[in-house]
């Protein structure tokens, strides 16, 4: 092979490699990304070095202009209806997701997560304050030696709620209980990773209050691959996921593919409660109705790994379970998730609390006044639901605090 032919192949490969990385900046689904990469490879082989270089250069220019337009128009921020996705990030050192660190902002939420899944007019607009600390968790201040840390997913983190209403804030305000939020949406394996990272940063003296949500915490709980190669891959591809072209294109693709389901509202059920329409996520409804739970892969191992740090475990029921008594179900709901968790707690001598009963009592009381413990357009509890959890937690920890809790 001549030197000229070799150099042409090298240039062609470099052109393809440039196109490969440009496509990474678009957040395309894997099947589409792979298809385009293969098509470009075949195309570049056919059109030669000059054609390949021209196509790659054109892709670069288009992407730069696209990204600049998203920034100038502000559309890169308008795609987000809540702060959770906008400020999502990753802790590559500790191998788990976090929020961006040291965020202090206010954002108008036009609706909750279920509001984005239906064309029904159920939106409850709210203004949310969103604060994170240096470690990327929802705290107004950095960790300063608090004895108790709250671990869990979006319920413990306070998704869809303003900072002053999240669990860690209500505990401090209403019960003088200074706790630390170590919560971010994930599964039980993720929660174990949060705890490991916390212990590495701050030591092992704090005690964990673990919150597990019935709707999605009792599924497979695999931890992320922690090998050096996997960490490098996540960090490398993470460079592209921070681009506005990536975030916007991925969001638009998801909206386009889900458009028909959103119009039909196929993922959401509606029930009239207190003369108001309440939305329920069908997947969580199905989980609540589940008669038997197969042991989730990785769940028990993750729980066992947190055993040295756990003070208490709290079970958060679905919205459907809390309001089921107001529906004509014909039979009582099974308790597969709680029964499984209760068994794990007995095995490892964890103190476990089921928040269902106190949430039901408060929901029934509020319903008489046209109020709810869950957002009507969301899968998450609101400030009133969080207040129930705060009251239970404060009562449980009162003997350990050595002082009376402040009355509400």
**11 and 155 housed in the same domain:** no
**131 and 158 housed in the same domain:** yes
> Could you tell me if residue 291 is inside a domain?
yes
CB 377 within 8 A of CB 123: yes
Question: Within a 13 Å sphere around the CA of 33, how many CA atoms are in the beta-carbon half?
Answer: 15
Q: How many domains does the chain have?
A: 2
Q: Structural domain of residue 19, as residue ranges?
A: 3-73
Strand partners of residue 90: 97
Rg (CA), the chain: 24
pTM, rounded to two decimals? 0.89
**What's the token pair of residue 237?**
């591809």
**102 and 7 housed in the same domain:** no
Strand partners of residue 89: 98
**164 and 18 housed in the same domain:** no
Does residue 330 have a pLDDT over 80? no
> Could you tell me if residue 26 is inside a domain?
yes
Rounded Cα distance between 136 and 142, Å, is: 9
> Could you tell me if residue 23 is inside a domain?
yes
Among residues 32, 52, 73, which one ends one of the domains?
73
Rounded Cα distance between 93 and 222, Å, is: 18
> Could you tell me if residue 239 is inside a domain?
no
> Could you tell me if residue 407 is inside a domain?
no
**54 and 103 housed in the same domain:** no
Instruction: Tell me what the mean pLDDT of segment 389-395 comes to.
Output: 98
Instruction: Tell me what the mean pLDDT of segment 260-266 comes to.
Output: 56
**281 and 173 housed in the same domain:** yes
5 to each of 1, 10, 57, 243, 307, how far by Cα in Å?
A: 6, 9, 21, 36, 63
Strands (E) across 136-206 are located at 148-152, 180-183
**68 and 98 housed in the same domain:** no
pLDDT band (50, 70, 90) for residue 396: very high
Looking at residue 129, which CATH number applies to its domain? 3.40.50.1110
**197 and 131 housed in the same domain:** yes
Model pLDDT, residue 9: 87
The 3-state DSSP composition of the chain as helix, strand, coil percent (nearest 5) reads 50, 15, 35
**311 and 351 housed in the same domain:** yes
**100 and 66 housed in the same domain:** no
**What's the token pair of residue 275?**
């003369």
Provide the percentage of residues in the chain whose pLDDT is more than 70: 96
Among residues 13, 47, 73, which one ends one of the domains?
73
- Would you give the distance in Å from CA 402 to the centre of its chain? 35
> Could you tell me if residue 215 is inside a domain?
yes
**281 and 310 housed in the same domain:** yes
Query: How is 84-104 classified by DSSP, letter by letter?
Result: HHHTEEEETTTTEEEEPSS-E
Does residue 405 have a pLDDT over 50? no
pLDDT band (50, 70, 90) for residue 297: very high
Looking at every residue in the chain, the average pLDDT score rounds to 92
User: Which of 66-75, 257-266, 348-357, 367-376 bottoms out in mean pLDDT, i.e. has the lowest?
Assistant: 257-266
> Could you tell me if residue 334 is inside a domain?
yes
> Could you tell me if residue 128 is inside a domain?
yes
| Chain segment 235-245, per-residue pLDDT in tens | 888 888 889 99
Instruction: Tell me what the mean pLDDT of segment 328-357 comes to.
Output: 94
Model pLDDT, residue 407: 41
| Chain segment 166-198, per-residue pLDDT in tens | 999 999 999 999 999 999 999 999 999 999 999
Among residues 73, 107, 127, which one ends one of the domains?
73
pLDDT band (50, 70, 90) for residue 3: low
pLDDT band (50, 70, 90) for residue 408: very low
**166 and 114 housed in the same domain:** yes
């Amino acid at each position: 092979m001549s030197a000229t032919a070799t150099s042409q192949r090298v240039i062609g490969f470099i052109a393809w490699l440039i196109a490969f990385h440009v496509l990474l900046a678009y957040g395309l689904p894997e099947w589409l990304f792979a298809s385009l990469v293969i098509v470009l490879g075949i195309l570049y082989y056919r059109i030669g070095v000059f054609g390949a270089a021209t196509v790659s250069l054109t892709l670069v220019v288009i992407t730069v202009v696209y990204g600049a337009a998203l920034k100038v128009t502000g559309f890169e921020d308008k795609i987000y209806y809540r702060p959770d996705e906008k400020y999502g990030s990753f802790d590559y050192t500790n191998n788990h997701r976090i929020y961006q660190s040291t965020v202090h902002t206010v954002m108008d939420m036009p609706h909750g997560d279920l509001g984005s899944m239906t064309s029904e007019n159920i939106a409850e607009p709210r203004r949310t304050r969103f604060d994170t600390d240096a470690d990327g968790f929802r705290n107004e201040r950095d960790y300063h030696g608090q004895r108790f840390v709250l671990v869990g997913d979006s319920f413990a983190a306070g998704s869809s709620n303003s900072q002053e209403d999240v669990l860690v804030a209500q505990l401090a305000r209403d019960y003088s209980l200074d706790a630390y939020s170590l919560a971010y949406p994930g599964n039980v394996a993720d929660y174990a990773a949060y705890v490991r990272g916390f212990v590495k940063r701050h030591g092992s003296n704090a005690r964990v209050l673990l919150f597990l949500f019935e709707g999605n915490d009792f599924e497979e709980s695999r931890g992320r691959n922690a090998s050096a190669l996997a960490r490098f891959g996540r960090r490398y591809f993470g460079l592209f996921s921070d681009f506005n072209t990536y975030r916007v294109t991925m969001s638009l693709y998801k909206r386009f593919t889900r458009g028909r389901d959103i119009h039909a509202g196929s993922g959401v059920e509606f029930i009239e409660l207190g003369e108001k329409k309440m939305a329920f996520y069908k997947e969580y409804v199905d989980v609540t109705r589940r008669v038997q739970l197969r042991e989730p892969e990785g769940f028990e191992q993750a729980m066992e790994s947190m055993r040295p740090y756990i003070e208490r475990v709290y079970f958060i029921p679905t919205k459907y379970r809390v309001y089921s008594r107001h529906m004509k179900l014909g039979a009582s709901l099974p308790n597969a998730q709680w029964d499984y968790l209760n068994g794990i707690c007995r095995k490892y001598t964890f103190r476990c609390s089921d928040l269902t009963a106190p949430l039901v009592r408060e929901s029934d009381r509020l319903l008489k006044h046209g109020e709810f413990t869950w957002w009507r357009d969301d899968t998450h509890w609101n400030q009133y639901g969080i207040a129930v959890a705060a009251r239970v937690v404060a009562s449980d920890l009162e003997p350990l605090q050595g002082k009376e809790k402040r009355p509400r």
